[in-house]
Structure 1
Amino acid sequence: MHKVRSGVARAATAIAGGLVMALAVASPAMADTSQSSASALQISLVGGGLASSGTASATNDGTTESISGNTNPPLAVLGGQTVITAGVLGQSVRAYNDGTSAACAGVLGAGGAITIGAGGSCIVTPGSEVTLNLGANGLATISLVADAIYSECTATSSPSATGSATLVNARIVSTLLGIPTTLLSLPANPAPNTGLSVPGLLNLTLNGQTSSATGQLTVTALDLSALGGALASVVIGSSSCGVNAVAPPIPVIPLAGAPVALGLGAVVAGTGGFFLHRRRAARRS
C-alpha cells in the first residue's frame, strides 16, 4: 500500500511540476522593439524636380535587426543634378534588441565617413571640403561649403529620444571673379530649430527637430530654402529614431488554455486516486 501511495504522489508531483513549468513558459516575457531611419540629402528644384539619396531604415522585433536601403549611397543616386558634384553621402542606422535605436545622416567631403559606434553614438571622419552650388546672385555664385554637415539621434523604449546637429567649418560663400567672400558662418553646434538667413538670398533652419509622439524624434541638420533661381531647397542630414516599445511576444501556451491544462492535470490526478481505490477494493475481496 505504501508503495502505491508513493507512486501516486510522485506522479501527482511530476504532473503539477510540469503544469507549473508550462504556465511559467506561457507567461509572456517582455521583448523590446526599436526602429530608426536616415536620409543624407534631398535637393528640390523649382518646377518639381527632386534628387534624393533615398532612405536607410532599421527595425528590430526584439530578437532580430533588419536594415534596408543603402547606408552609403553613391552620388550617382542623385542623378544629373549639379548642386553637389563631389563628396560623401552617409546615412547609418541601427536598431537593437534592448529597445534602443540610433541614426546618423549627412554630407561630408571626399574621404569622409559616417558610422554608428557603441552606445549609438555617431562617429564622423570629415574629409576634404564639400561644396553645394546654390545658384547665382548677379555675377557671383553662391555656395554652401563645409567639411561635414550631419545630424544624429538615439531613442529608447522607456520611452525617450534625443538628437543633435553638427556643422564642421560650414559657411555660405559668394564667389566673384574667383574671389570667395563668406556671407554667413554657420554655428558648429546650433540649438534646436535655429533660424538664419542671408537677406534676399537664403533662409536656413539648423538642427530642426520635430516629434510625432513621446519617444520619437526627427532631426534635420540643415534645411535651406533659396529665394530665387532654379533651386528651391536643400535638406541635409535627416535622422529619425523611435517610437521604440516594450511588447510581449506570443506565449508558447496561450493563457486562455491554462484552465484546460489544469483540468487535464486534475483528471490525471483523479485517475490515480481511482486506481488506488480499485486496488484497495480488490484486496478486501
Structure 2
Amino acid sequence: MRKLGPGFTRTATVLTGGLAMVVLAASPALADTSQATASALQISLLGGGLASSGTATATNDGTTESISGNTNPPLSVLGSQTVITAGVLGQDVRALNDGTSAACAGVLGSGGSINVGSGGSCTATPGAGATLTLGVNGLATITLVADALYAQCSATSSPSATGSASLANARIVSTTLGVPTTLLTLPANPAPNTGLSIPGLLSLVLNSQTSSTTGQLSVTALDLSALGGTLAGVTIGSASCGPNAIAPPVPVIPLAGTPIAVGLGAVAAGAGGILMHRRRRAVTRS
C-alpha cells in the first residue's frame, strides 16, 4: 500500500483550515440591547398647566451605553409652581452591555439622594422630610409629607422585568391654624396597584405597575388625583425598564463580501474532494 506523502498532508491541512476560517468568518455576532427611563416628578394643574422634572434615558446597542437627560434635576426645572418648594429630585438610569437595565426615580427630603447601584438595584438615602402642598380645604392646608417616595425597576434580555415602590414615612396631613393632623398614613412598601382615597379630597394609586410586553415594566411610586382646587394631579417616581433583547445576527463579513466567502469555501471543498479522489486511486493501485 502506498503511503500518502507529506505534501498531501500539508495541503489537506491548509485547505481544512481555510474552510474553517471561511465558516467562522461568516458566523453571526450577537449583542444584547437594553433600555430604561426615569422621571422624578410631574405636576398637572387644572387648565392644562404642567411642571415636569424631565426624563433621563439610557440605551445600549450591545456595545455602548448612551445616557441623556438630567439625572439630578434641580427644583428650578419645575418653574414657578408652588406644590413643592423643598426637597431633592432623583432620576437615575443604566443600560448595560449584557442586556440588563435599571432605573429609579422619585422625590426625597433635602439632603437625600437616589441612584442605580453597581448591581442594578436602587440605592436611596432619605433626607429631611419633603412636603408637597396639594391644596386648601376650608381653613385646612392639605399636604403630602415624606422622607422619600421612589420607584425602581430592572429588566433582562431573558426576557424578564421586576419593580417596586418605596414610601418612607409618607402621609397625608391636614394643617389648620398651625396644628397638623394625619389624615392617611401610606404603606412603606405597597403592593402593586394599591388604591387609597380620602373621600371628597383625593385618590391615590401606589406602586402602579403596567407592562406592554414580556420583559417590559413601568412603575410609578405614587399617582395622585386631586378632587378639588387648582391641582389636577401629581405623579411621583416613574421608572420604566425594557424591553431588552438579543439583537438580530450581524455577519462579521459584510453582505457584499458573502459571494467571495462562499467562493472560497467552494474552492476549498472542491480541492479537498479532488485530493480525496486521488487518495482512493492511489490506495487501489497499491
Q: TM-score, normalised by structure 1?
A: 0.89
What's the counterpart of residue 201 of structure 2? 201
2-structure distance, mates of 1:264, 1:46: 75
What's the counterpart of residue 175 of structure 2? 175
- Any conservation in 2 of the 1:129–1:147 contact (CA below 8 Å)? yes
2-structure distance, mates of 1:96, 1:249: 19
Sequence identity, in percent?
Answer: 72
State how many pairs are aligned.
Answer: 272
- Any conservation in 2 of the 1:39–1:237 contact (CA below 8 Å)? yes
Please report how far the alpha carbon of residue 249 of structure 1 lies from its aligned counterpart in structure 2 after TM superposition. Answer: 4.2
SS of the equivalent of 1:192 reads: coil
SS of the equivalent of 2:251 reads: coil
Please report how far the alpha carbon of residue 109 of structure 1 lies from its aligned counterpart in structure 2 after TM superposition. Answer: 0.6
SS of the equivalent of 1:118 reads: coil
- Any conservation in 1 of the 2:32–2:98 contact (CA below 8 Å)? yes
2-structure distance, mates of 1:52, 1:215: 27
Q: Deviations over 1:127-153 (max 9, x none)?
A: 111000101001111100000000000
Q: TM-score, normalised by structure 2?
A: 0.89
What's the counterpart of residue 188 of structure 2? 188
Counterpart check, 1:259 vs 2:234: no
2-structure distance, mates of 1:18, 1:254: 18
2-structure distance, mates of 1:129, 1:180: 15
1-structure distance, mates of 2:37, 2:190: 22
What's the counterpart of residue 282 of structure 1? none
- Any conservation in 2 of the 1:22–1:253 contact (CA below 8 Å)? no
- Any conservation in 2 of the 1:23–1:253 contact (CA below 8 Å)? no
What's the counterpart of residue 112 of structure 2? 112
Please report how far the alpha carbon of residue 117 of structure 1 lies from its aligned counterpart in structure 2 after TM superposition. Answer: 1.2
Please report how far the alpha carbon of residue 8 of structure 1 lies from its aligned counterpart in structure 2 after TM superposition. Answer: 5.4
What's the counterpart of residue 57 of structure 1? 57
| Alignment gaps of 5+ in structure 1 | 277-285
What's the counterpart of residue 210 of structure 1? 210
What's the counterpart of residue 89 of structure 2? 89
1-structure distance, mates of 2:88, 2:15: 64
The farther-off stretch of 236-245 and 111-120 is 111-120
2-structure distance, mates of 1:132, 1:94: 28
Please report how far the alpha carbon of residue 32 of structure 1 lies from its aligned counterpart in structure 2 after TM superposition. Answer: 1.3
2-structure distance, mates of 1:19, 1:157: 34
1-structure distance, mates of 2:172, 2:123: 25
What's the counterpart of residue 147 of structure 2? 147
Q: Deviations over 1:13-49 (max 9, x none)?
A: 2233123123223211332111111000000000000
| Alignment gaps of 5+ in structure 2 | 279-286
Q: What is the letter of the counterpart of residue 261 of structure 1?
A: L
Counterpart check, 1:129 vs 2:129: yes
- Any conservation in 2 of the 1:193–1:205 contact (CA below 8 Å)? yes
